[in-house]
């Protein structure tokens, strides 16, 4: 059932068993698991069914540190959440790429303390398998050998510490349209849009959430009461809502040891490496690494992965390498980033999607390109100094905005340069080409994959939420989504976010 907060009488009180903040992939997935159950579920979504400029202004904030554009551009207050921002063409629709975290991403980093997840990769794998279906993907298989065929062979990387793996691609309409429509038809799930949560009211010294106060765009006030509250509004907003709640700083839920908002992480992308093939035949031989349909219809795209043992022993960040060919025409200004490359493709190859994929559709590949730009998707390690705090400035509803302290540290740059050397040496050792390295470049941080601000840890001294997503020190308050990730690896986070939401749904079903 759908509700519009703009049409509710002022001071309306909504009651439910579970109240969820946010109707993005996390909140939608969680609520969908309760369709047809005895539990009543209320989703409060700040945005509407369509994009609204005034509502998006609530995402305004200030970045302090290195240049970063992700506070407003990288978030979407609308039903469907971040899926509304996806830009990869998947068939005739818009979607995104999916991949799970690697098992090594669940280990504690040797040089960063308290980074181990409170459960193992094997504990999340069953939920990854369920998430495949929720996201409209194929089988839970991400090795290159699972998808290769005669038309799309994988590169022979010999004994290099590199291997071919894949991304799978799914459409955004599941989260922006199909699942919200199913919720609208449900008799026990209520999706209230244009409903911006202002704060959670707590009692019993911050142990119990009793209601969420929320407002319509005009400022009309309402409240929602529930047995259980779940924050699923993204890493920036989840942290802000916790910081806004409680009677004092010491009363802030989950913040007894000061971890709320800390360890904000992104997925920077590096463009410093260029592969010059020994033979022009490499371009037609590498079409597996472009987005393409596999034999069973699943849309996949190859990627190059570094061996996890090398990552561990050398202390390198986890990473994934995407191949984007460089146009041979020397008069063309060569694009540096994925978005620039996509724009170039769209201008010169009308059928190419805007995400940078689609390059293999060009005729005479060997004549069209002269090199591959190697795009490295990077892990950013958790750093408590990268954090979200409340600002002195207020938004249109009178709620404090956020300040984001974010830097790409000198140590991370050193590790990136070590990673570049390992990748370049491995590719050259495989005999497929020569790698040029552009020095003095930092990565592009703007993947808009916000994570880490309400991180999970078994010990409340080192995190905000427990293994189930329950906020430490509370009885009925949970967080889910990218904010609870202890480490982010290199992986686009949506598959992990959906898997974690399914895991939380099972926990809440048992609890109710």
Confidence of residue 342 (pLDDT cuts 50, 70, 90): low
Q: How many whole angstroms separate alpha carbon 344 and alpha carbon 468?
A: 45
Distance, first Cα to last Cα, the chain: 21
Question: Residue 96: inside a domain, yes or no?
Answer: no
List of residues 6+ apart from 68 with CB closer than 8 A? 266, 404, 406, 445, 446
Q: Quick check: 169 pLDDT over 60?
A: yes
Least confident residue range of 127-141, 344-358, 435-449, 484-498: 344-358
> Is-contact 91 168, C-beta < 8 A?
no
Question: Residue 491: inside a domain, yes or no?
Answer: yes
Determine what percent of the chain is predicted with pLDDT higher than 90: 84
Range of the domain at 189: 1-62+76-86+172-266+449-512
Q: How many whole angstroms separate alpha carbon 277 and alpha carbon 71?
A: 39
> Is-contact 377 387, C-beta < 8 A?
no
Tell whether the torsion through CA atoms of 316, 322, 325 and 330 is positive or negative. negative
Q: Quick check: 356 pLDDT over 70?
A: no
Q: Can you give the C-alpha Rg of the chain in angstroms?
A: 23
Confidence of residue 249 (pLDDT cuts 50, 70, 90): low
Mean pLDDT of 73-97: 94
Q: Quick check: 345 pLDDT over 70?
A: no
Question: Residue 456: inside a domain, yes or no?
Answer: yes
Mean pLDDT of 272-290: 95
In 118-256, alpha helices (H): 121-134, 173, 179-185, 235-244
Q: How many whole angstroms separate alpha carbon 512 and alpha carbon 510?
A: 6
Q: How many whole angstroms separate alpha carbon 293 and alpha carbon 150?
A: 13
DSSP 476-511: SEEE-SGGG-S---SS-SHHHHHHHHHHHHHHHHHH
- Report the Cα 41 to chain-centroid distance in Å: 24
Q: Quick check: 336 pLDDT over 70?
A: no
What beta strand segments (E) does 36-111 contain?
Answer: 41-44, 61-65, 88-90, 93-98
Tell whether the torsion through CA atoms of 306, 311, 316 and 319 is positive or negative. positive
Question: Residue 388: inside a domain, yes or no?
Answer: no
**How far is residue 143 from each of residues 100, 156, 303, 305, 307, measured CA to CA in Å?**
11, 14, 10, 10, 13
The tens digit of pLDDT for each residue in 453-497 reads 999 999 999 999 999 999 999 999 999 999 999 999 999 999 999
Q: How many whole angstroms separate alpha carbon 233 and alpha carbon 82?
A: 10
The tens digit of pLDDT for each residue in 295-304 reads 999 999 999 9
The tens digit of pLDDT for each residue in 395-438 reads 999 999 999 999 999 999 999 999 999 999 999 999 999 999 99
Lookup: tokens for 476? 């009925």
Question: Residue 273: inside a domain, yes or no?
Answer: no
* Count of other CB atoms within 10 angstroms of residue 250: 10
CATH number for position 258: 3.50.50.60
Question: Residue 442: inside a domain, yes or no?
Answer: no
3-class DSSP assignment, residue 416: helix
> Is-contact 230 241, C-beta < 8 A?
no
> Is-contact 23 80, C-beta < 8 A?
yes
Question: Residue 51: inside a domain, yes or no?
Answer: yes
Confidence of residue 334 (pLDDT cuts 50, 70, 90): very low
H/E stretch holding 277? strand 269-277
**How far is residue 479 from each of residues 35, 159, 194, 409, 440, measured CA to CA in Å?**
20, 43, 21, 28, 39
DSSP 429-458: HTTSEEEEE-TTPPPB-TT---B-TT-B-S
Question: Residue 208: inside a domain, yes or no?
Answer: yes
Q: Strands of 61-65's sheet, edge to edge?
A: 61-65, 400-406, 387-394
Least confident residue range of 110-119, 189-198, 235-244, 464-473: 110-119
Tell whether the torsion through CA atoms of 293, 294, 298 and 300 is positive or negative. negative
Total domains, the chain: 1
């Amino acid at each position: 059932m759908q509700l519009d907060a703009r049409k509710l009488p002022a001071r309306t009180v909504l009651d439910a068993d579970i109240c969820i903040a946010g109707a993005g992939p996390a909140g939608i997935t969680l609520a969908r698991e309760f369709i047809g159950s005895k539990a009543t579920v209320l989703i409060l979504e700040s945005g509407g069914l369509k994009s609204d400029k005034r509502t998006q202004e609530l995402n305004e904030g200030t970045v302090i540190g290195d240049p970063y554009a992700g506070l407003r551009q990288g978030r979407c207050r609308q039903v469907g959440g971040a899926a509304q921002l996806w830009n990869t063409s998947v068939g005739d629709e818009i979607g995104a790429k999916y991949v799970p975290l690697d098992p090594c991403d669940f280990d504690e980093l040797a040089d960063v303390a308290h980074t181990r997840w409170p459960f193992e990769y094997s504990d999340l794998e069953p939920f990854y398998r369920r998430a495949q279906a929720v996201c409209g993907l194929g089988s839970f298989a991400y090795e290159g050998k699972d998808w290769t065929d005669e038309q799309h062979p994988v590169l022979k990387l010999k004994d290099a510490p590199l291997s071919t793996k894949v991304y799978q691609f799914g459409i955004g309409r599941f989260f922006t349209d199909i699942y919200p429509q199913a919720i609208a038809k449900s008799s026990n799930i209520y999706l209230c849009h244009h409903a911006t949560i202002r704060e959670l009211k707590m009692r019993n010294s911050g142990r119990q959430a009793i209601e969420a106060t929320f407002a319509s765009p005009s400022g009309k006030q309402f409240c929602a009461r529930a047995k259980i509250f779940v924050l699923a509004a993204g890493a920036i907003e989840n942290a802000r809502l916790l910081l806004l709640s409680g009677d004092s700083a010491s009363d802030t839920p989950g913040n007894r040891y000061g971890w709320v908002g800390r360890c904000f992480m992104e997925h920077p992308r590096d463009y410093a490496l260029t592969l010059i093939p020994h033979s022009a035949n490499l371009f037609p031989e590498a079409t597996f690494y472009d987005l393409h349909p596999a034999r069973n219809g699943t849309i996949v795209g190859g990627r190059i992965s570094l061996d996890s043992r090398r990552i561990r022993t050398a202390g390198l960040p986890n990473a994934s390498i995407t191949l984007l060919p460089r146009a041979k025409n020397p008069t063309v200004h060569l694009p540096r980033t994925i978005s620039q490359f996509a724009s170039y493709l769209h201008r010169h190859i009308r059928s190419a999607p805007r995400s940078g994929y689609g390059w293999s559709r060009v005729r005479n590949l060997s004549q069209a390109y002269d090199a591959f730009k190697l795009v490295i998707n990077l892990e950013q390690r958790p750093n408590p100094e990268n954090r979200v705090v409340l600002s002195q400035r207020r938004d249109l509803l009178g709620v404090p905005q956020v300040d984001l302290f974010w830097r790409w540290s000198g140590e991370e740059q050193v590790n990136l340069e070590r990673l570049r050397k390992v990748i370049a040496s491995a590719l050259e050792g495989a005999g497929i080409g020569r790698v040029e390295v552009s020095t003095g470049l930092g990565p592009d941080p703007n993947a808009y994959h916000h994570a880490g601000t309400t991180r999970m840890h078994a010990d409340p001294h080192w995190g905000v939420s427990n293994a189930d997503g329950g906020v430490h020190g509370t009885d009925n308050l949970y967080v889910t989504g990218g904010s609870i990730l202890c480490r982010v690896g290199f992986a686009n986070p949506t598959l992990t976010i959906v898997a974690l939401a399914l895991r939380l749904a099972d926990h809440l079903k048992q609890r109710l």
